[in-house]
Amino acid sequence: MHAVLLDEANRAIEKTLPARGNDYRPGYHLAPPAGWMNDPNGLVFFRGEYHVFYQHHPYSVHWGPMHWGHAKSSDLVHWEHLPIALAPGDSYDRDGCFSGSAVVAHDRLYLIYTGHTWLGAPGDDSNIHQVQCLASSTDGLSFSKHGPVIEAAPDPQTLHFRDPKVWMREGQWWMALGARHGDDPQLLLYRSDDLYHWDYLGCALQGQREADGYMWECPDLFELDGCDVFLYSPQGLKPSGYDNWNKFQNSYRMGQLDDRGRFSECGKLYELDHGHDFYAAQTLLAPDGRRLLWAWMDMWDSPMPSQAHHWCGALSLPRELSRHGERLRMRPARELQALRREHWALQVGAVESCSHTLQLRGALLEIELELDLAASNAERFGLALRCSEDGREQTLLYFDAMARRLVLDRQHSGAGVSGVRSIAVSLSQTRIALRIFLDRSSIEVFVDDGAYSLSSRIYPGPDSLAVRAFAVNGAGVLGNAQAWELADLQL
């Protein structure tokens, strides 16, 4: 039965491909061939290649019964779409193969995922059943389902119970699950010797609705530079100051996980990325010891104009994680330098209360430059990106001297999108180093060697290609810049 459902899903993709529009299609980000994409799941290195699975609805451009899409790469740059790995349809997952993870054991690739069923009307989140399921493959392409390995939540009041993250710790398999107990979020832990039989260790961390939201989705637990990191996606946090302005967030806490399965926090809650579109981040441990991360580069309820083009959703660039005190630092994976093509060296200098067009154009660009705060007296200054000739379309990235913030403004970034996001700049800081990645429908900004990042979708027209430096009410000084045209590897 599963083979039949997979065949139908793959045929649906093939049928849609001739009608797909590519105006917003990423040149070097992973996006579905057609249909809907959301959370990355099942990140794994298997037989010399990186595999990325993702939540996928092949039959439409809207969220629906979740399948697992699948792609692989040998170098984190060139990706190959593979046949859909999992399709819902069995009694335990008939309404969705929800998020999970992938591990390698005895040279087999195992997928661990949440099987979802609606007990009442579809979409009624108060009447559901979720179980944790196992599937495996000997070749990394075709997967056999083994059914549920955890049949129910440990407490009847725990309704939402999903997104298993599995990893090896001291010779045993551990599983982290996000849960909702009443109106409070929980992190639950299990342990196993064989991936089939699991013992419940307990609630590793208990949240409170008012401070922590009502659900912690897509948990990830990993050790990084001597500290354990709990990475997760809290739902239900209220906006506070400049924080938590997306519908849902991607956040993390530092702490220590003990052998009994209790997580002790030793730092505050931080947002992982400060842009408009970043959710459900997951990591894998690369063979060389790096901790790599991807996220869904979209947000629930956001405008998604590519739906009119028969596809929707994209993943962020792969990022290398490191620890900087009680914060995480994210840098673009070093392999991405292989995308670079034509190079420009730009001398920008002072820009005084005007806009200066740079000798740089393109939809697929990488730009490195510094904003010299100490030498500037402008009220705001920075770059206008993906500009149309008439100035009606532009994405602004600038330093606001009055608010002491670095601002990403997409009020005029093209079809459907709007809104402003920003990060704080300390009074003692004299320069801001920027590394910017532009794709046809996205911008990712890495600030001060990855201390912060802002990731957002933008949808400018195909002819909005100019880059300008600008300053308002004074002079802004931009250091020498360099830029690269990036390879178009559109899939």
Q: Is the pLDDT of residue 490 over 90?
A: no
For residues 208-217, give the mean pLDDT.
93
Q: Where are the domains of the chain?
A: 2-332, 340-486
Write down the pLDDT at residue 152.
92
| Each residue's pLDDT tens digit, 98-129 | 999 999 999 999 999 999 999 988 888 888 99
The CATH class that applies to domain 2-332 reads mainly beta
DSSP code, position 4: H
| Each residue's pLDDT tens digit, 320-363 | 999 998 999 999 999 999 999 999 999 999 999 878 888 899 99
Structure tokens at 417: 């999108």
Write down the pLDDT at residue 480.
86
Terminal Cα-to-Cα distance of the chain (whole angstroms) = 29
For residues 441-468, give the mean pLDDT.
98
Alpha-carbon span 18 to 34, nearest angstrom = 10
- Closest by CA to 313, choosing from 324, 300, 322, is 300
For residues 264-272, give the mean pLDDT.
91
The percentage of residues in the chain with a pLDDT greater than 70, rounded to a whole number, is 100
Q: pLDDT-derived band of residue 384, with 50, 70 and 90 as boundaries?
A: very high
Write down the pLDDT at residue 356.
84
CB within 8 Å of 87: residues ≥ 6 apart = 2, 5, 6, 8, 9, 67, 97
Candidate CATH numbers 2.60.120.560, 1.10.10.10, 3.50.50.60, 2.30.30.40; the one for domain 340-486: 2.60.120.560
Write down the pLDDT at residue 16.
98
* Active site positions, annotated: 39
Write down the pLDDT at residue 359.
86
Q: Is the pLDDT of residue 75 over 80?
A: yes
Write down the pLDDT at residue 126.
84
Q: Is the pLDDT of residue 485 over 80?
A: yes
Write down the pLDDT at residue 122.
87
Element housing 160 (H / E): strand 158-169
Write down the pLDDT at residue 491.
76
CB within 8 Å of 289: residues ≥ 6 apart = none
Write down the pLDDT at residue 362.
97
The rounded mean pLDDT for the chain is 96
Q: Is the pLDDT of residue 1 over 80?
A: no
Write down the pLDDT at residue 321.
98
For residues 120-143, give the mean pLDDT.
94
For residues 295-303, give the mean pLDDT.
97
282 class by beta-carbon count within 10 Å (0-12 exposed, 13-18 middle, 19+ buried): buried
Global pTM value: 0.97
Q: Sign of torsion, CA 275 281 286 288? A: positive
For residues 151-165, give the mean pLDDT.
93
For residues 453-461, give the mean pLDDT.
98
Q: Contacts by 236-239 with C-beta closer than 8 Å and gap 24+?
A: 236/209, 237/212, 237/213
3-state secondary structure of 483: strand
